[in-house]
Structure 1
Amino acid sequence: MDYELLISFHENQSTNSRIKLHCRRDISELLSQSFFMGFSLTILSLLARLRVLIQQILLDVVCVYNSVSSLSRKEQAIKITEEGFEVFREYYPIKEQFISLDCIWQTDKCVLVEKK
């Protein structure tokens, strides 16, 4: 009689430990899923902001390039005075067309195009 009671007690304990183990596993899965979703959304929002930042940098670089290119196509003269000496420096650009850049939006990306 004592032997049967001891066996049923051990079986009952092993069943409880299985249930506890199953509950622990389910709770850990729920916690990992909730952490993963928040982490994923944070990473995706950071990537989206990085993409917008890079596109804005591209637009700014194109604007600066076009400004510098147009300035380099104009005649320029400078007068330098140092210790009583005056020097004139003049720049006459070659009469070639310069290439300007333009950013054109196609669907969801910005494409860089050369214009003459």
Structure 2
Amino acid sequence: MAEPVMKAAIQITFLLARSFFIDLCTAVFSLLARIRVLIQQMLLMLFHYIIRLQILLIGSRLLRLASVECREYYPSMNDACTILECIWVKDKFVLHEKMKDSCQETQVEDQKPCGPESSTR
């Protein structure tokens, strides 16, 4: 008679422990899942802001570089210009460097049409 009582007590204890631990485990797992989702959302927002900040910084850096290169490639009209002229002297070409006060004069000269006197032979 002790055996059926012991079996019943073991089964009741097992059911109570199982029901208690399953509820506790479910609550803990749901809590961990919610914390995991919150951490994922925070990391996603953090990476989003970091990427956006990098895009802004790179964009401003590229704009500064582009403006500097544009200024170097297209000098302003009032800057002094260095002009290289290749002139035939006796039996060879000689390279002469000239400085002009403004680039506007140079651009006007560059736009003049080439006449027959300026053609090469």
Shift in Å at residue 63 of structure 1? Answer: 0.5
Q: State the aligned residue count.
A: 86
Q: Which runs of 4+ in 1 moved over 2 A?
A: 70-77, 88-96
2:82 paired with 1:76: yes
- Please, what TM-score do these two structures have when normalized by structure 2? 0.58
Judging by fraction of residues, say which structure has more helix.
2
Matching of residues 30-109 of structure 1 within 5 Å = 30-71=34-75, 75-76=81-82, 90=98, 95=110
- Give the share of equivalent positions with the same residue, in percent: 7
Q: Aligned equivalents of 2:7 and 2:75: distance in 1? A: 101
Shift in Å at residue 65 of structure 1? Answer: 0.9
- Please, what TM-score do these two structures have when normalized by structure 1? 0.60
Flag the structure with larger Rg.
Answer: 2
Judging by fraction of residues, say which structure has more strand.
1
Q: Aligned equivalents of 1:64 and 1:91: distance in 2? A: 23
Report what 1:8 is aligned to: 12
Specify every segment of 5 or more residues in structure 2 that has no aligned partner in the other structure, as ranges.
84-95, 101-105, 112-121
Specify every segment of 5 or more residues in structure 1 that has no aligned partner in the other structure, as ranges.
78-87, 97-116
Structure 1 vs Structure 2 CA RMSD: 2.8
Kindly provide the CA deviation profile for residues 73-113 of structure 1, in whole angstroms up to 9, marking residues without a partner as x: 95238xxxxxxxxxx964688948xxxxxxxxxxxxxxxxx
